[in-house]
Amino acid sequence: MENICVVGAQFGDEGKAKITDLLAQKADFITRFQGGSNAGHTVVTNGKKYAFHLIPSGILYENKTCMIGAGCVIKPDDLKKEIENIVSQGISPEHFKKYLKISPLAHITMKYHTDIDGYSENALGQNKIGTTKKGIGPTYADKYNRSGIRVEDLFDKETLNKKVDIILNMINKELKFVYDLKPYTKEEILKELAGYKEILAPYVDFNWQKNLTDIKDNKTILFEGAQGVMLDIDYGTYPYVTSSNPISGGAATGASMGANSIQRVIGVFKAYMTRVGEGAFVTELTDSTGETLRTIGGEFGVTTGRPRRCGWFDMVSAKYSILVGGITEIALTKLDVLDKFDEIKVATAYKNKLTGEITEYYPTNVFTHQNYEPVYKTFKGWKQDISKCKHYSELPENAKIYLKSLEENLKTKISIISVGPDREQTIFV
Ligand code: GDP
Ligand code: IMO
Ligand code: MG
């Protein structure tokens, strides 16, 4: 089988975990390539619901190795809680010790990173990003500032000691003078790190170069993205984005196996759109239709419980996602959520309210988005329950018209249609 990369193609929460879990059936190795426990991934199998944050969504299988890649950031105490939570649902701790691997090159989220994330969000007030407050931005900022702590550092006492001496001086100045936050003593930091070492030790793969060489040569790999293209640090609705690259290019850097290890990129889109946190959302519905989408779709965050903002499918941002995300085919999820609607809308273009100009290309300066309104194409609803459909042919005619129109406009094949949260509720086209 070819190696597949699963990428969120909107603002996150598209149902990537369901698609990853399904595709993992045919993979030997599943790797997360970016992000941290800001992600909230739900897998439903046999009516049982599992919530993942950092652990790859393929972990429920036997005989499949799951790796948290070099491009990820790890808050070890959150990872510990995540494992304990899944263990409480019946998966054994030995299963994790056997199948979960962590790249020694991944970065550690320290307490001071979450302190800074929380402070910055409060200080920004109305201009806040609406982050998950998991310390993601500050961890990546330190990584790129070359003052981060990597997993491998925890296992080399001398390096760690030296590193803490160098960075703590800077971090404490930053905490005190920039953020007016409590500085840390070296003892506190070393104690925190010693605790993290203990949590991560069973999973760190120090033989990753040998193992990944073998996997790249002989195994089927599934790359699992978190967040979505429109939250990408380079291509998303900057600055209302996360601090990593959810695009497939992120897999090329974050999974330690290069761009040539990926053959197909599946972009996961919801049949409508949602967003948590602040930032532009041209097709957002703040009326009762948006409320109905939220209620039927159960649109509340897995990580923060925040209600998700809802709106119609946006072809302008979808075309952009397909381009910059390197998407070769589409998985369309939550089509069943539209079952009860009389009419379904899709934005085919944006109209500039000031100039009247119509554009089909995504305006990347999101501060101009207040000047745009969506130009909608309206589809007739199908008004019937599709959640038990197993084959494309069983879908109502109006649903097929909707799907065909998306495919034609996006010039990209829809290869998976999801009609419910369960593994079984999936149509492979
Ligand atoms: P992710 O972050 O992209 O993995 O998505 P989330 O897990 O945050 O959110 C997707 C939600 O939709 C989860 O509650 C899923 O169980 C649910 N879901 C996934 N696919 C479908 C679908 O086709 N229909 C319905 N009704 N729910 C779905
Ligand atoms: P999954 O993988 C939806 C959003 C936050 C905020 C912005 C920055 O489940 O799709 P951060 O904490 O990353 O610095 O927050 O990104 N965000 C997500 N939105 N789904 C996610 O993950 C998200 N991870 C981060 O709400 O707007
Ligand atoms: Mg999610």
Q: Do 75 and 163 sit in the same domain of this protein?
A: no
Indicate which residue of 13, 78, 314, 336 is catalytic. 13
User: What share of the chain has pLDDT > 70, as a percent?
Assistant: 100
385 labelled catalytic: no
- Closest atom of ligand 2 relative to the 133 alpha carbon: 12
Q: Do 260 and 389 sit in the same domain of this protein?
A: yes
Q: Where are the beta strands (DSSP E) in 33-134?
A: 41-45, 48-52, 65-68, 73-74, 100-102, 107-108
Domain end position, chosen among 200, 224, 244: 200
Q: Do 130 and 257 sit in the same domain of this protein?
A: no
Lowest mean pLDDT among 41-45, 198-202, 211-215: 41-45
Q: Do 67 and 89 sit in the same domain of this protein?
A: yes
What CA dihedral angle connects 192, 197, 199 and 202, to 10 degrees? 180
Q: pLDDT grade, residue 219 (50/70/90)?
A: very high
- Closest atom of ligand 2 relative to the 41 alpha carbon: 9
Task: Give the pLDDT confidence of 393-425 residue by residue, as tens digits.
Answer: 999 999 999 999 999 999 999 999 999 999 999
Tell me the CATH number at 260: 3.90.170.10
Q: What is the mean pLDDT of residues 163-172?
A: 95
Domain range for 357 is: 1-103+207-429
Q: pLDDT grade, residue 1 (50/70/90)?
A: low
pLDDT of residue 46: 84
pLDDT of residue 65: 97
Whether the per-residue pLDDT at 357 is higher than 90: the answer is: yes
Nearest-5° Cα angle at 217, 216 to 219: 70
Whether the per-residue pLDDT at 59 is higher than 70: the answer is: yes
Q: pLDDT grade, residue 213 (50/70/90)?
A: very high
Whether the per-residue pLDDT at 302 is higher than 90: the answer is: no
Joined together, the tokens standing for residue 331 give 């998985």
Q: Do 223 and 300 sit in the same domain of this protein?
A: yes
Residues surrounding ion ligand 3 at CB below 5 Å: 13, 40, 302
Tell me the CATH number at 189: 1.10.300.10
Q: Is 35 left (phi over 0), alpha (psi -120 to 50) or beta?
A: left
How many independent structural domains does the chain possess? 2
* Torsion angles phi and psi, residue 215, rounded to 5: -65, -45
Q: Do 117 and 11 sit in the same domain of this protein?
A: no
Q: Do 135 and 279 sit in the same domain of this protein?
A: no
Domain end position, chosen among 139, 169, 200: 200
- Separation of 87 CA from ligand 2 center, angstroms? 25
Closest-lying ligand to the alpha carbon of 338?
1
String of DSSP letters for 202-254: TTB-TTHHHHHHHHHHHS-EEEE--S-GGG-TTTSSTTSS-SS--SHHHHHHH
Give yes or no for residue 38 CB within 6 A of ligand 2. yes
- Separation of 139 CA from ligand 3 center, angstroms? 20
3-state secondary structure of 115: helix
- Closest atom of ligand 1 relative to the 228 alpha carbon: 3
- Closest atom of ligand 2 relative to the 14 alpha carbon: 10
Give me the chain's average pLDDT, please: 96
Residue nearest to atom 27 of ligand 1 (CA): 421
Q: Do 119 and 268 sit in the same domain of this protein?
A: no
* Torsion angles phi and psi, residue 2, rounded to 5: -75, 155
The dihedral of CA 209, 214, 217, 220: what is its sign? negative
Joined together, the tokens standing for residue 230 give 């429109």
Closest-lying ligand to the alpha carbon of 38?
2
Give CA–CA dist 400/393, Å, rounded: 9
Task: Give the pLDDT confidence of 366-379 residue by residue, as tens digits.
Answer: 999 999 999 999 99
- Separation of 16 CA from ligand 3 center, angstroms? 8
What CA dihedral angle connects 407, 273, 417 and 69, to 10 degrees? 100
Closest-lying ligand to the alpha carbon of 306?
2
Q: pLDDT grade, residue 235 (50/70/90)?
A: very high
- Separation of 38 CA from ligand 2 center, angstroms? 6
Residues lining ligand 1, Cβ inside 6 A: 8, 12-18, 39-42, 44, 298, 302, 333-334, 336-337, 418-421
Residue nearest to atom 27 of ligand 2 (CA): 277
Q: What is the mean pLDDT of residues 72-76?
A: 98
Joined together, the tokens standing for residue 264 give 């197909």
Q: Do 308 and 429 sit in the same domain of this protein?
A: yes
Q: Do 99 and 113 sit in the same domain of this protein?
A: no
Q: Do 136 and 58 sit in the same domain of this protein?
A: no
- Separation of 206 CA from ligand 3 center, angstroms? 30
pLDDT of residue 257: 97
Whether the per-residue pLDDT at 303 is higher than 80: the answer is: no
Q: Do 51 and 167 sit in the same domain of this protein?
A: no
41 labelled catalytic: yes
Domain end position, chosen among 200, 227, 248: 200
